[in-house]
Structure 1
Amino acid sequence: MSVLVLVVDDEPDVEALFRQHFRRDLRSGRLRMEFAMSAADALAQVARASESSLILILSDINMPGMTGLEMLPKVKALRPEVPVIMITAYGDPETKRRAIEGGADGLLTKPIDFATRRREIDRRLDGVTK
């Protein structure tokens, strides 16, 4: 069973950034990363991810169509055990409150701190392999 992290963001350069920062893990097969450019695409991928051990979803909040906050309860209905961390350029208290009330396990502000992301993913990978 492969370990999967899903990144949801409508910005095309996000995939390249994540692939660059996690290239060793991806090459070694330690984990897989999939990317969705919309909330609707992310929901479809979550529904299909039953063969994978989905350990974390990182999602932007502001996206065209369905926002990350609108997607959040739908993801939690499909996979309540999978932590979802929301990412936003606006870390105001109201956004944080709405994310946490919607079921998010955390809120990060852009630019993304990849050292923190690596620690979070490593912690979750350790939990899966034990």
Structure 2
Amino acid sequence: MTLLVLVVDDEADVEVLFRQQFRRDLRARRFVMDFAASAAHALTRIADTGEQTLILIFSDINMPGMTGFDMLPEMRARRPDVPVIMITAYGDDETRRTALDRGAEGLLTKPIDFGQLRQAIEARLGPVA
């Protein structure tokens, strides 16, 4: 079983940054990461994960077209079993409350603390067999 973490962000350098931070895990095939450049692409991607088991979604809030906030209720309706953690440059109380009210499990602020992201992934991976 291949475990999948989906990252939704319109910034092209995000994929490179995530792949660098998690390169050992990806090489060891503990999980795979897929990247969606828009909320619409993410919604399409979660509809067909093939042989992969989607375990976690990280999503930016500010994206052109459908924002992460707009995507959240739809994402939760389609995949209520998969937690969504929002990532934003705005960590104020109102943004946090909106994210949680719309179905996010949590909110992380930029610059990204990859230790926090790793903890979220590890929590979903469960015990190593």
TM tier relative to shorter chain: over 0.9
Deviation per residue, 1:44-83 (Å, 9 max, x gap): 0011125321110000000000000000011111110100
- Looking at structure 2, the residues matched to 13 and 24 of structure 1 have their Cα atoms a distance apart, in angstroms, of 19
| Structure 1 unmatched ranges of 5 or more | none
- Looking at structure 2, the residues matched to 75 and 53 of structure 1 have their Cα atoms a distance apart, in angstroms, of 15
* Runs of 4+ deviating beyond 4 Å: none
**Matched residue count:** 129
- Looking at structure 2, the residues matched to 4 and 74 of structure 1 have their Cα atoms a distance apart, in angstroms, of 19
Does 1:61 find its partner at 2:61? yes
Spell out the pairing of 1:89-104 with structure 2 (5 A cutoff).
89-104=89-104
Percent of residue pairs bearing the same amino acid type: 64
TM-score (norm 2): 0.95
Question: Tell me, what secondary structure is at the counterpart of 1:7?
Answer: strand
Does 1:3 find its partner at 2:10? no
